[in-house]
Amino acid sequence: MSSTSQKHRDFVAEPMGEKPVMALAGIGEVYGKRLEEKGFDKAYVVLGQFLVLKKDEELFRDWLKDTCGANVKQQGDCYGCLKEWCDAFL
């Protein structure tokens, strides 16, 4: 049994389309709101940022922390979710 959450599995299972940013693993109501305020209102925008950072884990985590104040676990969840999505669909 992998250590991924249901949210993670749901996200990675299909193309993200127009899913909101709160559909990302590790991003809940609070962090989602903060991201939306910064302009990252859809999951694909966060994906864009992830890709622009060349899928670098450290940079992405730093960015997430700076942008919405996510803690280490949530940073990791979000990174893992996006990474897996990219592996599957990109």
Partner 1 sequence: MSQFVENPAHLSKSRLKSDLVAHSVELPPVKSKKEVYVGLHLQHIGQKNAVDFSSDEEDQVQDVSDKEEDTEMPDPSGLTDDDLKAALLEHGVKAGPIVASTRALYEKKLRKLLQSNGHGCLNGVEKGVLYSDSEEEEENGEEEDRELGSEGEKEETVKQSDQAQQGSSQVELCFQNGGFVYPQCFLLSSRLHARASRNREPSPKWNSGNAIESSEQSRPPCSQIPVGISRASSVDQHSGLGSGLDMPIVDTMKNQSLYYTPKASSYEWKMKLTQEPVKDTVKNMFPNTDATTTGIYATRRRPIKGAAGRPVQYAYPDTPVSPTTLEKREVERRLVPIQIQILVFLIVTCLLYLIYVCVEDNSFGPSVALLDRFYQGSDSEEGLLLQAETQDVPAPSRQE
Contact positions toward partner 1, by CB under 8 A? 49, 52-54, 56, 59, 62-63, 66
Question: Which of 7, 83 has the CB closer to partner 1?
Answer: 83
Question: Which of 14, 56 has the CB closer to partner 1?
Answer: 56
How many angstroms separate the CA atoms of 5 and 36, rounded?
23
Q: Residue 52 CB, nearest distance to partner 1 (Å)?
A: 6
How many angstroms separate the CA atoms of 5 and 49, rounded?
23
Q: Residue 13 CB, nearest distance to partner 1 (Å)?
A: 28
Q: Residue 86 CB, nearest distance to partner 1 (Å)?
A: 14
Beta bridge partners of 42: 20
Closest CA to 19 of 3, 5, 35: 35
Closest CA to 70 of 20, 35, 19, 45: 35
| Greatest Cα pair distance in the chain | 36
Question: Which of 11, 50 has the CB closer to partner 1?
Answer: 50
Question: Which of 4, 44 has the CB closer to partner 1?
Answer: 44
